[in-house]
């Protein structure tokens, strides 16, 4: 059951061919800097890395080059479908969908909500449909898992007309990752798919956390867009929205420009002034850089505060689940966050914490109720699973 998984961003396209049952990766790769003279295609097949320049290539050129790799890799005839990551499904999609012209229209209708992400996602869908016309195509939405949030969690306290006319509400993102790690955590805890009170913390360059009660998302930190919530690599997370007007008036910049800075030059980068990479900042803080030290401290404090807030949605906590680049490898950051959450009954096991890196899953607390777990995420595998399941159901 091999699936081609595609994730098209504004200037990049990631692809992978993986077995939806075993999770084995046969081919992985990405095209970067699309639309520029420096565009490249990198891929790994049979443990060997390759790079090829694709000067001036756009998404079309990149996906053509990627699909052209399938035959020489012996994968062309093995695929059962193509799974696409689609960022914004609005309130229209509560699960993955087989792509039809109607589904494409609905994804297009979500473009105003995801203006940066949905257009390249749609391009990937169109190009894959042309290049691989006999294969089923499936859309897997970042927002879908959070469609189970109750109104009290997704409703902003703003005028009704904004909510009704402009789709202003909280949607949540990283749903594919939260769904995957919640299920893995349930397995580790010996729980059924419809049991457990979990907070899943996806801490990478983008960061979000979700309250998962009995297998369903009941609250999450990202909102209308992925800007809300935790401190991230370059995104501020939640700030007083009045700062946008204040900075715009003070600097003469437009509100859109200020928002761009909140998305691209804030978070760890804005706090430290020089890096969005937590590893760099931890090293710099240890070497005496006060701004780097503050960045690390703010990241941990805001994370702990918001993770604790999600426990309100659950009413109790069985496990806090760390994932993402920082969640899976950031031993010191996990220790800081767990220490701040000690009042919930979490008690770090430093040696277990030190061992849970580079893809190793497991409990990192002495406490078992609640406990903290590390669970490596695999969004591509989740997309492959959903694609294979929808193809099999048809």
Catalogue the active-site residues. 142
- Please choose, out of 36-44, 208-216, 272-280, 384-392, the segment that lies near ligand ADP by the rule CB under 6 A: 272-280
What Rg value do the Cα atoms of the chain yield, rounded? 21
Minimum CB–partner distance for residue 178 and ligand ADP (Å): 13
d(C-alpha 78, C-alpha 314), whole Å: 43
Minimum CB–partner distance for residue 232 and ligand ADP (Å): 8
Minimum CB–partner distance for residue 189 and ligand ADP (Å): 23
User: What are the backbone dihedrals phi and psi of residue 150, each rounded to the nearest 5 degrees, phi first?
Assistant: -75, 160
Neighbours of 264 (CB within 10 A): 14
Binding test (CB under 6 A) with ligand ADP, winner from 9, 61, 175, 206:
206
- Please choose, out of 15-23, 219-227, 322-330, 381-389, the segment that lies near ligand ADP by the rule CB under 6 A: 322-330
Pairing type for strands 197-203 and 25-32 reads unpaired
With binding defined as CB under 6 A, does residue 303 bind ligand ADP?
no
- Please choose, out of 50-58, 123-131, 218-226, 277-285, the segment that lies near ligand ADP by the rule CB under 6 A: 277-285
Minimum CB–partner distance for residue 86 and ligand ADP (Å): 17
Nearest to 122, CA basis, from 143, 107, 137, 102 = 107
DSSP 8-state secondary structure symbol assigned to residue 278? H
Binding test (CB under 6 A) with ligand ADP, winner from 60, 253, 277, 347:
277
Rounded to a whole number of angstroms, the distance between the first and last alpha carbons of the chain is 14
**CB of 66 closer than 8 Å to CB of 121:** no
Count of residues touching ligand ADP (by CB under 6 A): 12
Binding test (CB under 6 A) with ligand ADP, winner from 25, 279, 355, 367:
279
- Core vs surface per residue 279-311: b (16+ CB within 10 A) or e: eebbebbeeebeebbebbebbbebbbebbbebb
**CB of 132 closer than 8 Å to CB of 79:** yes
Q: Which of residues 227-256 bind ligand ADP (CB under 6 A)?
A: 233
Minimum CB–partner distance for residue 43 and ligand ADP (Å): 18
- Please choose, out of 71-79, 239-247, 273-281, 363-371, the segment that lies near ligand ADP by the rule CB under 6 A: 273-281
Minimum CB–partner distance for residue 197 and ligand ADP (Å): 25
With binding defined as CB under 6 A, does residue 326 bind ligand ADP?
yes
With binding defined as CB under 6 A, does residue 83 bind ligand ADP?
no
User: What single string gives the DSSP state of each residue in 143-158?
Assistant: SGGGGG--HHHH--SS
Binding test (CB under 6 A) with ligand ADP, winner from 29, 90, 267, 330:
330
d(C-alpha 18, C-alpha 28), whole Å: 8
User: Could you tell me how far CA 40 lies from the centroid of its own chain?
Assistant: 24
Which one, 67 or 293, has the nearer CB to ligand ADP?
293
**CB of 175 closer than 8 Å to CB of 206:** no
Which one, 14 or 26, has the nearer CB to ligand ADP?
14
Minimum CB–partner distance for residue 138 and ligand ADP (Å): 22
Binding test (CB under 6 A) with ligand ADP, winner from 83, 89, 172, 325:
325
Binding test (CB under 6 A) with ligand ADP, winner from 29, 204, 223, 267:
204
Binding test (CB under 6 A) with ligand ADP, winner from 32, 44, 205, 367:
205
E-strand ranges in the chain read: 2-8, 13-19, 25-32, 40-45, 48-53, 79-86, 97-98, 136-141, 197-203, 207-213, 216-220, 319-323, 362-363, 371-374
Q: Which residues bind ligand ADP (CB under 6 A)?
A: 204-206, 233, 277-279, 324-326, 329-330
């Amino acid at each position: 059951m091999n699936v081609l998984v595609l994730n098209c961003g504004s200037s990049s396209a990631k692809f992978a061919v993986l077995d939806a049952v075993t999770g084995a990766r046969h081919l992985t790769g990405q095209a970067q800097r699309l639309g520029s003279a420096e565009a490249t295609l990198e891929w790994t097949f049979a443990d060997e890395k390759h790079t090829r320049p694709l000067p001036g290539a756009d998404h079309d050129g990149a996906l053509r080059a990627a699909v052209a790799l399938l035959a020489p890799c012996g994968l062309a005839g093995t695929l059962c479908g193509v799974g696409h990551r689609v960022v914004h499904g609005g309130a229209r999609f509560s699960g993955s969908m087989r792509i039809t012209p109607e589904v494409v229209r609905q994804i297009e209708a979500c473009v105003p909500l995801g203006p940066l992400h949905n257009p390249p996602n749609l391009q990937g869908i169109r190009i894959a449909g042309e290049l691989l016309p006999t294969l089923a195509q499936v859309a897997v939405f970042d927002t879908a898992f959070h469609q189970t949030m109750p109104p009290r969690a997704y409703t902003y306290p703003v005028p009704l007309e904004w909510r009704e006319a402009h789709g202003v509400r909280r949607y949540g993102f990283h749903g594919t990752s939260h769904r995957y790690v919640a299920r893995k955590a349930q397995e580790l805890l010996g729980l059924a798919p419809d049991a457990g009170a979990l907070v899943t913390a996806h801490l990478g360059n983008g960061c979000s956390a979700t309250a998962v009660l009995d297998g369903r998302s009941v609250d999450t930190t990202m909102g209308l867009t992925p800007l809300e919530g935790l401190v991230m690599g370059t995104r501020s997370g939640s700030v007083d929205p009045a700062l946008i007007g204040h900075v715009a008036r003070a600097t003469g910049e437009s509100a859109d420009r200020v928002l761009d800075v909140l998305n691209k030059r804030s978070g760890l980068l804005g706090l430290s002034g020089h890096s969005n990479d937590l590893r760099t900042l931890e090293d710099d803080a240890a070497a005496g850089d006060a701004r780097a030290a503050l960045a690390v401290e703010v990241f941990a404090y805001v994370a702990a505060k918001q993770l604790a807030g999600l426990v309100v949605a659950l009413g109790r906590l069985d496990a806090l689940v760390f994932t993402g680049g920082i969640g899976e490898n950031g031993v010191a950051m996990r220790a800081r966050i767990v220490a701040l959450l000690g009042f919930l009954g979490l008690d770090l096991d430093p040696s277990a914490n030190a061992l849970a890196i580079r893809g190793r899953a497991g409990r990192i607390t002495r406490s078992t109720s609640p406990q903290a777990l590390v669970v490596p995420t695999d969004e591509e595998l989740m997309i492959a699973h959903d694609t294979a399941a929808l193809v099999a159901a048809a």
